[in-house]
Structure 1
Amino acid sequence: MGNDISFTSDLSAFIAHSGPKMSYGDSPLGNEFFVAAHGLLTQQGVPSIQINLFDWEGLPAFFPTPVKSSLPFDFFAAAFYLMSRYEEYHPFVADDLGRFTSDQSLAAKHDFLHLPLIDLWFDRFLSIWQAFFDTKSIERMPSKLSIVVDIPQLFAFKHKTVFRSFAEGVQDFFQFRFGSIFDRALVVLGIREDPLANLYNWIEILLQKTTSIRFFVLYTKLGVHDRSLSVFNATHQQEIKSISDYAPTAPLASFESSTNETVLGTDIERFGTLIHRPVKSIRQHKLVLQFPHTYRLFSSLGIKNDYSMQYADAAGFRASTAFPFRFYDLGDEQQTPLTVHPVCLSETHIRNQRFSRKMRQLFLAYQDRLTKLHAPFVVALTNESFNSRGKNTSFLSTLSKILSHE
C-alpha cells in the first residue's frame, strides 16, 4: 500500500507502534484497524465449507464478521478460499478431459466469474484503510496488456509424414472439410504456403501493440490430444529456436504429461536443451488443471511461473483475481515457489461471440474493468488466430482492430 509492512506477534511492540496498524484475530487489541478472523486460515485439512454470500454495497462477499470488525467480512480468508482453489479439492463432475468446469464454481453460481472480485475487494479495503488513518492515495502501476500464444502445432499441413497427412486427409473427408483437403494438397505440393506460416509477421505486430508477449509451444511425442510435429523434426526444432529469439518461449505442457511426472520432466529438459535456456515458465495444454497435483508437479521440476489459471469453457477469473500470486498447496499446507499468472480471456471466448461488435465489446469490457483497478490484463491466443485463410480472415481482421484500439 505504498509503505513498508512488518508483522509481529509481540503485543507490546504492536501497542507501542504509533503509525497505522492492523490486527487480525478474534478481537481487537485497541483502536487499531481490526479484521475479525473467520478461522479458515488456521484450520487443518480441507473440510467442506458452506458458503453463504451477502451483499457488501454492491459486491458479493462471504465469511461475515462481527460489527466491531473494520470490514464486514474476513477479506483474507475469503481471498484465500478463492485463490487457493479450495473448492476444486473436493469431488466434482469432470468434463471429458477430466477438467473442473466453470459452471460448478462458486463464482459462476453466484454470477461473479466475470469480476476480479478479490481486486475489487482490495480496492474498497484500500479506501476504507485510507479513510481510517486519514492517509493519501498511493500511486499505483498502470494496467498492462499481455498476450500469451499457445502453439499446439507450428504447421497445419507442412513437414508431416505421408502417413499422417493421409490419415488427417481421410479425417477431413469424413467430416466434410473438403476445403481443408484441397488446401492440404496445395501446401504439400508446394503450390501454396502453409496457413500457419505467417506467425513471424504477427510477432512483429504484437510486439508493437502489447506490453509483452510470450509463446508456449507443444514439443512432445505425438498423442491423441498432443498433435505437434515430431521432436526429432529438424524444421520443428529450428522454428522453436527462431521464435525464442523474438520473445520469451516456454513449453506448452502436453496432455499426457499432466498425469505423468516422467514425461513432463523429459519434455521440460528437452525444451530447455533446444532453446539453450532454463525453462522457468509453463502453460498446461488444454488447461487440464488438477489441484494440487498439477502445480505440485510444476514446482517439483523447477517451474517458477504458470499461465494456466483460467477456464477453458468460460471467460472470467478462475481465482477471482487478475494479479499474479504465489500458489498455496492446501494438501501440503505450504506456500509453493510457483507464481500463478491468471488469464481471463482467450481466443475461444472471443470467437464464441460470433459477431465482430460483440467480440470487441467483450474484450473492452475486461480491459476497462482491469484498467480501473490497475490490474494486469492477460489474454490467451493460439497461432491459429493468425491464420489468414478461409473462415478465419474475419476473426483475424477483428482481432487486429481490437489490438489496434480501432
Structure 2
Amino acid sequence: MILIYTHKVTPRVRYIFKHVFTRILLIDIDFTSKVEEFVAYNGPKMSYTKLPLGKEFFIRSHDLLFQQGVNDVEIKIEKWKGVSCFFSAGEKSVIPYDIFGASFYLITRYEEYLPHIKDVHERFMATESLAFKHKFLEKPVVDIWAYRLLEELKKKYPDYEYKKRFYNYISTIDVDNAYCYKHKGIVRTIAGFLKDTSQFKIFNMWDRFAVRFNIKKDPFNTFDKILRFKKELDVRTIFFFLIGDYTTFDTNVSASKTKFRLLIKEMVDYARVGLHPSYYSMKDATIIKKEKERLEGITNMPMKRSRQHYLRFSLPETYQKLIDLEIEEDYSMGYASHVGFRASTCTPFYFYDLDFEIQTPLKIFPFALMDTTLNDYMKLTPKQSLGKIRDLKNEVRRVNGTFITLFHNESLSNYLRWKGWGRVYGSMLKIVRS
C-alpha cells in the first residue's frame, strides 16, 4: 500500500487517485491529512500538496481537486518526454506536472460542462475538445501519465511489489437496423419500393423483392457471422439493440415483430445484450424507462448496460437519468466524427458528477473507434481503416488497457455503403487479438 498525504482529502482527490493508482496501476492506497501519521509511516508514501514535507515522493498540487463546481481553468499545454501535459508543477515536484488534476479534468469531461458549440445532433464536438486541438485525441494520455508515474515510483521504491494488469478487448455491436428489408411492415416496404423506383435503383428493387419473398437472405442479417467470430476467437461481444418507437432517426424493425424478438432472445443465449436508447431519449428519462422495460420484457432479465443512439448524451443530465434507472454500465463515451479517446483514457472508470461532487455507481466504458467514423466521416478505405485500428490498438496495448470497438451488424454485410467492408470486422479481430 502507498500512503497519500494531502492537506485536504476531497471527493475529487479520492476519486482520481483511486482511478490512477487502483484501476490503472493496481496499487492499493490510503489517504491521510495528518502530518504526524504521514511522517511516522514506514512504507511507500507520497505527498500531494503545495510544498513537500521532507524528502518524500512529492507532486505539487494544482487547485482543481480542491475546488467545487465548474470554473474557467487556465490550461497551457506543454510536452513531457514527448507526451502532451498541463498544470505545471515546478521543479520540486518529482513529476513536473500535476497529472492528477489534469487526469480529473479529462476524465470527468470538465470541458463539456463549460459553454461550447454543439453539432446538428446537439452533441459535444470532437473539434471543441482540448485533446483534438492539441493533437492528443488518439492517445490515452491518462494511462500514459500513470505509467510514467509508475516508472518514478519504482525508482523511489524498488522493493515494493508491483502488480501488472493485462490488455483486453471488447467488441460492441450496435443494432440500429437488424434487417435491411425484412420484417419492416407493408407501409414501409411499399414506401421503400416507391423510393427505389423514383431513384432508378434497379438492383435495390430486386434485392428488396428477393428478400421479401425469401429468395435471398437479408443482407444486414450478419449475426451468425458475428457469433462465429465470437466463438472461434473467444471475443467478449456485446449487442446493443435499438427498440424505440419509429422516428426519422430510429428506423429499426418494430419490437412487436416476433422474428426481431426471437433474434434478441437468441443473442442473449450467446452474448451479452444491452439497451440502445433511441435518438430522443437524451433528455427524456420516460423514453429510456419505456425502452428499458420493453427490452427486459423480451429478454426476461434486468438490463444493466446501455449506449445512446447517435452517441447523443449531455453531461451530466443523461448519465443522471441512467443512474436513476439503475443502469450500471454505459458505452457511449466516444465521438462519431473522430476516432480516439474522448475521456483520454482506455480504462473503464466511474462517472464523477460535477453537479453533486460525487463518484456515481455508473461505470463508463470508453470506446476508441466506430465503423461509421472510419467509413462515413473519415472516408477511409477498408485497408486504411485497418491501419488506423492497428495504431489505436497499439496505443492501448502499450498501457495494458481495454480496447473497445463499435461496429454495426450492417457493416459486415458488404452491401450498399458498406461495399468492400465485408471482411473488415474479421480482419480487425485478428489484429486486436494479436
When normalised by structure 1's length, the TM-score is 0.95
Which residue pairs with 2:395 in the alignment?
369
Which residue pairs with 2:364 in the alignment?
340
Q: How far, CA to CA, are the matches of 1:156 and 1:110 in structure 2?
A: 40
Q: How far, CA to CA, are the matches of 1:33 and 1:176 in structure 2?
A: 71
Once the two structures are TM-superposed, the CA of residue 342 in structure 1 deviates from its matched residue by: 0.6
Once the two structures are TM-superposed, the CA of residue 358 in structure 1 deviates from its matched residue by: 1.4
Answer yes or no: is the 8 Å Cα contact 1:305–1:341 preserved in 2: yes
Once the two structures are TM-superposed, the CA of residue 385 in structure 1 deviates from its matched residue by: 1.9
Q: Give the alignment of 1:372-391 within 5 angstroms.
A: 372-389=398-415
Once the two structures are TM-superposed, the CA of residue 374 in structure 1 deviates from its matched residue by: 0.6
Answer yes or no: is the 8 Å Cα contact 2:222–2:410 preserved in 1: no
Q: How far, CA to CA, are the matches of 1:78 and 1:227 in structure 2?
A: 41
Which residue pairs with 2:422 in the alignment?
396
- Please tell me the residue identity of whatever aligns with 1:338: L
Once the two structures are TM-superposed, the CA of residue 370 in structure 1 deviates from its matched residue by: 1.3
Deviation digits for residues 32-51 of structure 1, max 9, x if unmatched?
Answer: 11111111111122112221
Q: How far, CA to CA, are the matches of 2:36 and 2:193 in structure 1?
A: 76
- Please tell me the residue identity of whatever aligns with 2:333: M
Q: How far, CA to CA, are the matches of 1:245 and 1:282 in structure 2?
A: 18
Which residue pairs with 1:217 in the alignment?
241
Q: How far, CA to CA, are the matches of 2:390 and 2:199 in structure 1?
A: 35
Which residue pairs with 1:14 in the alignment?
38
CA pair 115-172 structure 1, distance change in 2 beyond 3 A: farther
CA pair 347-33 structure 1, distance change in 2 beyond 3 A: same
Which secondary structure state, in structure 1, belongs to the residue aligned with residue 282 of structure 2?
Answer: helix
Are residue 102 (structure 1) and residue 126 (structure 2) matched?
A: yes
Q: CA RMSD in A?
A: 1.8
- Please tell me the residue identity of whatever aligns with 1:341: F
Deviation digits for residues 17-60 of structure 1, max 9, x if unmatched?
Answer: 00110111122222211111111111122112221111112111
User: Which 5+ residue runs of structure 2 have no aligned equivalent?
Assistant: 1-24
Answer yes or no: is the 8 Å Cα contact 1:130–1:137 preserved in 2: no
Once the two structures are TM-superposed, the CA of residue 296 in structure 1 deviates from its matched residue by: 0.9
Q: Percent identity?
A: 33
Which secondary structure state, in structure 2, belongs to the residue aligned with residue 226 of structure 1?
Answer: coil
Which secondary structure state, in structure 1, belongs to the residue aligned with residue 406 of structure 2?
Answer: strand
Q: Give the alignment of 1:314-329 within 5 angstroms.
A: 314-329=338-353
Which residue pairs with 1:280 in the alignment?
304
CA pair 172-298 structure 1, distance change in 2 beyond 3 A: farther
Are residue 69 (structure 1) and residue 89 (structure 2) matched?
A: no
- Please tell me the residue identity of whatever aligns with 1:403: L
Answer yes or no: is the 8 Å Cα contact 1:223–1:256 preserved in 2: no
Q: How far, CA to CA, are the matches of 2:106 and 2:237 in structure 1?
A: 27
Answer yes or no: is the 8 Å Cα contact 1:207–1:213 preserved in 2: no
When normalised by structure 2's length, the TM-score is 0.89
1:114 to 125, 129, 138: 138
Answer yes or no: is the 8 Å Cα contact 1:36–1:74 preserved in 2: yes
1:349 to 353, 373, 379: 373
Which secondary structure state, in structure 1, belongs to the residue aligned with residue 115 of structure 2?
Answer: coil
- Please tell me the residue identity of whatever aligns with 2:398: K
> Number of matched residues?
406
Once the two structures are TM-superposed, the CA of residue 339 in structure 1 deviates from its matched residue by: 0.5
2:321 to 297, 309, 312: 297
Once the two structures are TM-superposed, the CA of residue 171 in structure 1 deviates from its matched residue by: 3.7
- Please tell me the residue identity of whatever aligns with 1:362: K
Which residue pairs with 2:167 in the alignment?
143
Deviation digits for residues 70-93 of structure 1, max 9, x if unmatched?
Answer: 211111110000001111112222
Which residue pairs with 2:294 in the alignment?
270
- Please tell me the residue identity of whatever aligns with 2:355: G
Which secondary structure state, in structure 1, belongs to the residue aligned with residue 422 of structure 2?
Answer: helix
Q: How far, CA to CA, are the matches of 1:275 and 1:246 in structure 2?
A: 13
Q: How far, CA to CA, are the matches of 1:221 and 1:33 in structure 2?
A: 57
